[in-house]
């Protein structure tokens, strides 16, 4: 099908049952594909398939625009079995109603998108057409023009999105085409449908339970569904509502008989169900007239494939991968950032706040709290034992004083499957020792501010900065003082250093380096208002010279995860390097908002994901962050 060769196609929910079949077909046809899904990238996907793992409710216009798809296929959805539970209320809204609306919002003004294909459902049709109080001899063929009345929340969500797309078509009719493919009773490899559930039970030598074996459904295999979506994507004039089913329904008893051919000892019990007898199938007249194609895979052909798939791929229990944020203190914005990253990545995690102070404020914002021993009482075995008890797979250190401890035991943690967002011990020690940092960078020709551990020559500068040699630069700081004042202040410090005072504009530069050492992204921001060493007001900017300088510094050492560089630009435009903090900073949440998605990337890397295909995309405009306290009310 040459019409799709080299076409850029975005597929939401591409790791699902239909999606995996669809991506395989699109790759064979030569399409360029970007997939978004909550699940990790399926191992069988070709390397050329670009992939975004995470909640697509967080997908940004910038990321989608970077790929610039011509065709957008929306498969992502959530659903339950025949009867939806009370708890499905919120899930349906978030992953069906809200998600569909969000993705339509991203595509409606994206000029590259010419065709949107929405995977809708026959659940939209009025159930009184095909549901009965007693078993039927033949099915009702549902036509695209039949009355609608969604029979559950999933059907309601599908109809709502169809109406949204109809609304958009009124404004974009000449620029985009919209197709709502109403898919019938889907089944396939790895599905949650009744056929797959029965097969899993039979492989475990369990009996199966059958409800309404006289029920009649239009079963469409996922590979046929994928082919139908491709036929519609390739058709130049297809639009509107189109049934996607086989047009040849089968009874539930037929499914049981096919299974019996493969499981001769199959036993089943029949149970009455307080639901009507269904007797439906798709009228595929429109599908056939448009595409000259209709589904061809029968239950007899598909069920052996599903049996083989389930034999080879026993479903593993998903392990919750919890996260510790150490020295949680009052770091509420950082807590929210990690929780948002977890939700975006699709991982079900608990965020555990750890601090030696059991009364710290941060404990009220995490999912659990650990009164962590102080560093002089903490060791690797104790920490690893706690991590195993709580199923912790990732650690985010947040205080300078603890970084050497965690860097030194990083290898031990990794050997136990515990990932930690920290650079290697040499890099950490260099960054935390401001004099050593100066010596290393000076030797490599970087414009680092001269740093002295003994009283410098007074003639070197009229004004001075004095601070502690180790740890955060804001702890014990005298700035822009005369020489005598500098000497006097130094007597109050444990390990003072002296630096000439340089007047100019202060900047922080947030960075992220991947596990493989690649520099993922750099964000420069001006420090507009600084209180106690932290930016209370900070603004992003593009500064190519500063970005190149920081890039070169990152390449000099072995960084991993988030790091922040501090620089000053003087009146002549010369840059002067102050220091580097090899951790996430108090105001670094602005960098996340500007596309440097550090916690999201770290969580993905922690579960073994290669994040090379997750682009660093900055907003087209600059943004400002104002850090202000706010009250939080909780139930007690």
The per-residue pLDDT for 474 is 57
Integer Cα distance of 380 and 405 in angstroms: 9
| CATH C-level class of 2-312 | alpha beta
Q: Give the pLDDT score at 271.
A: 81
Which region, left, alpha or beta, applies to residue 389 given φ > 0 means left and ψ of -120 to 50 means alpha?
A: alpha
Alpha-carbon distance of 182 to 123, in angstroms, equals: 8
Q: Angle at the Cα of 561 (from 60 to 359), degrees rounded to 5?
A: 95
Token representation of residue 18:
């239909």
Structure tokens at 611: 């994040």
Assess contact for 593 and 325: CB atoms under 8 A: no
Cβ-based burial of 70 (10 A; exposed 0-12, middle 13-18, buried ≥19)? middle
Sequence-distant (≥ 6) Cβ neighbours of residue 38 within 8 angstroms = 15, 53, 54, 55, 346
- Picking from 460, 487, 568, the residue whose alpha carbon sits closest to that of residue 478 is 487
Give the residues of the chain that fall short of pLDDT 70.
1, 81-82, 314-320, 472-475
Kindly state the tokens that stand for 552. Answer: 């070169």
In this prediction the pTM is 0.75
CA–CA dist 516, 422 (Å, integer)? 13
Q: Which residue has the tokens 């090899």?
A: 582
* Residue 82 confidence (pLDDT): 67
Half-sphere exposure of 580 (CA within 13 A, CB side): 27
* Domain boundary assignment for the chain: 2-312, 322-420, 503-636
For tokens 């034999």, what's the residue? 311
Q: What is the model's pLDDT at position 625?
A: 95
Q: Give the E-state strand segments of 264-314 in sequence order.
A: 268-271, 277-278, 280-282
For the domain spanning 503-636, the CATH number is 3.30.470.20
Kindly give the interhelix angle for 17-28 and 222-234, rounded to the nearest 10 degrees: 50
Helix, strand, or coil here: 141? Answer: strand
Residue 292 is predicted with a pLDDT of 96
Asked whether this chain's domains 2-312 and 503-636 adopt the same fold, the reply is no
Class of domain 322-420: alpha beta
Place of tokens 């992502």: 76
Distance, CA of 230 to CA of 25 (rounded, Å): 8
Strand ranges in 122-239 using DSSP code E only, listed in sequence order: 131-132, 140-142, 177-183, 185-187, 208-211, 216-217, 219-221
- Locate 527 and state its tokens: 């420090």
Question: What gap in Å lies between CA 180 and CA 527, rounded to an integer?
Answer: 50
Residue 118 φ then ψ, to 5°: -105, 125
């Amino acid at each position: 099908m040459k019409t799709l060769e080299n076409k850029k196609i975005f597929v939401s929910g591409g790791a699902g049952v239909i999606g995996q079949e669809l991506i395989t077909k699109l790759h064979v046809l030569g399409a360029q594909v970007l997939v978004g899904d909550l699940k990790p990238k399926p191992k069988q996907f070709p390397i050329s398939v670009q992939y975004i793992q995470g909640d697509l409710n967080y997908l940004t216009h910038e990321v989608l625009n970077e790929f610039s798809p011509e065709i957008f296929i929306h498969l992502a959805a959530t659903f339950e079995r025949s009867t939806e539970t009370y708890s499905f209320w919120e899930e349906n809204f978030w992953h069906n109603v809200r998600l569909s609306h969000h993705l339509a919002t991203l595509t409606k003004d994206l000029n590259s998108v010419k065709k949107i294909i929405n995977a809708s459902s026959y659940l939209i049709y009025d159930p009184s057409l095909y549901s009965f109080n007693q078993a039927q001899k033949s099915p009702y063929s549902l036509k695209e023009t039949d009355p609608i009345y969604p029979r559950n929340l999933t059907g309601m969500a599908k109809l709502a999105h169809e109406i949204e797309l109809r609304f958009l078509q009124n404004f974009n009719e000449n620029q985009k085409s919209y197709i709502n493919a109403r898919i019938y009773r889907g089944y396939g490899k790895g599905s949650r449908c009744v056929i797959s559930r029965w097969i899993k039970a039979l492989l475990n030598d369990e009996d199966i339970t059958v409800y309404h074996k006289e029920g009649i459904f239009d079963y469409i295999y996922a590979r046929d569904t994928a082919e139908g979506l491709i036929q519609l994507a390739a058709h130049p004039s297809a639009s509107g509502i189109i049934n996607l089913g086989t047009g040849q329904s089968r009874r539930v008893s037929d499914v049981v008989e096919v299974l019996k051919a493969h499981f001769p000892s199959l036993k089943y019990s029949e149970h009455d169900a307080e639901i009507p007898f269904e007797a439906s199938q798709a009228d595929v007249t429109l599908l056939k007239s448009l595409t000259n194609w209709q589904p061809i895979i029968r239950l007899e052909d598909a069920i052996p494939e599903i049996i083989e798939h389930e034999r080879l791929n026993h479903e593993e229990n998903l392990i919750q991968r919890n996260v510790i944020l150490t020295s949680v203190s009052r770091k509420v914005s950082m807590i929210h950032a990690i929780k948002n990253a977890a939700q975006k990545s699709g991982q079900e995690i608990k965020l555990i706040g750890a601090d030696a102070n059991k009364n710290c404020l941060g404990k009220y914002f995490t999912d659990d709290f650990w009164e962590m021993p102080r560093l002089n009482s903490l060791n690797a075995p104790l920490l690893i034992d706690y991590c195993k008890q709580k199923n912790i797979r990732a650690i985010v250190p947040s205080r300078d004083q603890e970084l050497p401890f965690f860097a030194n035991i990083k290898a031990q943690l990794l050997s136990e499957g515990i990932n930690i967002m920290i650079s290697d011990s040499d890099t950490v020690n260099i960054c935390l020792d401001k004099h050593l940092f100066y010596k290393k960078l000076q030797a490599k020709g970087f414009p680092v501010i001269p740093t002295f551990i003994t009283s410098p020559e007074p003639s070197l500068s009229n004004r001075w900065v004095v601070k502690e040699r180790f740890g955060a630069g804001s702890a014990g700081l005298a700035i822009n003082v005369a020489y005598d004042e500098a000497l006097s202040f130094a007597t109050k410090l444990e390990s003072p250093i002296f630096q000439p005072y340089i007047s100019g504009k202060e900047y922080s530069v947030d960075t992220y380096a991947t596990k493989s050492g690649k520099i993922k992204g750099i964000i420069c921001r001006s420090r507009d208002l600084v209180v106690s060493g932290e930016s209370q007001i900070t603004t992003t900017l593009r500064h190519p010279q500063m970005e190149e300088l920081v890039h070169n510094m990152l390449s000099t050492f072995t960084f991993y995860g988030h790091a922040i560089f501090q620089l000053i630009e003087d009146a002549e435009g010369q840059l002067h390097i102050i220091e580097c903090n090899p951790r996430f900073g108090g105001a670094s949440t602005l960098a996340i908002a500007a596309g440097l998605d550090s916690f999201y990337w770290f969580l993905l890397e922690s579960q073994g994901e290669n994040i090379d295909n997750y682009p660093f995309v900055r907003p087209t405009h600059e943004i400002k962050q104002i850090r202000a306290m706010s009250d939080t009310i909780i139930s007690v």
